[in-house]
């Protein structure tokens, strides 16, 4: 995964609005769509969430305004990856009424850059954790592997999914095992144990996470 910043600037809605000021001037409808996709209450979560890659999957109470100082908003880091000079966190934010998923982007120096609402599919392709091709292969493998645990990914399953000619099959298999699986592992989608790759979650949850990380790809019918 490489090195990453241990200290990050707190994301705020005010800073997000400033960074998108140029869009607001040049493309008002586009900015309006982005603005509308940000639920103000969720910015409390995005601001106070601990962006720590070691806390992936851990639910974090982020706002305490309930009776008896009980939590009223929560968030969790779903995955973390690096894209060039950017650090990307896929996070869920929710309160008692609504929820949404966001991609929060920082610089390598920890400076907050921007946030995207993935339910609006406005995440630019250069920030996706992996390519649509990789996402499609993972989604199809996810459909192919049974729910019985461990959900082991075999050569036979990959062959059934990629459907390549015998001449091109070795190259595709190498790409799946050498490139796609380690990348999926870095996002906690698969794990490597006893010389076998396996999906870490049930099919429905795996598909949901893949679609969130790469919004351009949807679960195949």
Residue 218 lies in a domain: no
In total, how many domains does the chain have? 2
The burial class, CB within 10 Å (0-12 / 13-18 / 19+), for 165 is exposed
Is the pTM above the cut of 0.75? no
- Structural domain including 197 reads 132-213
What integer pLDDT is reported at residue 5 of this predicted model?
Answer: 55
Residue 4 lies in a domain: no
Residue 180 lies in a domain: yes
DSSP-derived letter for residue 216 is T
Specify whether the CB–CB gap between 7 and 59 falls below 8 A: no
- Which has the closest alpha carbon to 101: 44, 57, 38? 38
Specify whether the CB–CB gap between 80 and 88 falls below 8 A: yes
pLDDT tens digit string along 110-163? Answer: 999 988 887 766 777 777 788 888 888 999 999 999 988 889 998 889 988 887
Residue 167 lies in a domain: yes
DSSP-derived letter for residue 180 is I
When pLDDT is cut at 50, 70 and 90, the band that residue 217 belongs to is: low
Specify whether the CB–CB gap between 115 and 42 falls below 8 A: no
């Amino acid at each position: 995964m490489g090195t990453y910043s241990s200290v990050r600037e707190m994301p705020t809605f005010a800073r997000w609005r400033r960074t998108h000021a140029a869009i607001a001037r040049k493309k008002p409808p586009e900015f309006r769509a982005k603005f509308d996709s940000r639920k103000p209450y969720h910015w409390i979560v995005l601001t106070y969430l601990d962006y720590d890659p070691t806390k992936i999957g851990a639910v974090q109470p982020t706002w305490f305004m309930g009776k008896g100082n009980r939590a009223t908003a929560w968030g969790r880091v779903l995955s973390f990856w690096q894209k060039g000079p950017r650090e990307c966190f896929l996070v869920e934010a929710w309160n008692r009424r609504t929820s949404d998923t966001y991609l929060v982007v920082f610089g390598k120096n920890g400076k907050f850059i921007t946030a995207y609402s993935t339910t609006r599919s406005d995440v630019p392709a250069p920030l996706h954790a992996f390519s649509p091709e990789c996402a499609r292969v993972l989604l199809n493998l996810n459909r192919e592997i049974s729910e019985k645990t461990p959900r082991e990914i075999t050569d036979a399953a990959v062959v059934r999914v990629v459907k390549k000619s015998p001449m091109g099959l070795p190259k595709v298999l190498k790409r799946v095992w050498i490139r796609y699986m380690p990348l999926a592992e870095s996002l906690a989608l698969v794990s490597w144990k006893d010389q076998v790759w396996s999906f870490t979650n049930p099919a429905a949850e795996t598909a949901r996470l893949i679609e969130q990380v790469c919004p351009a790809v949807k679960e195949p019918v």
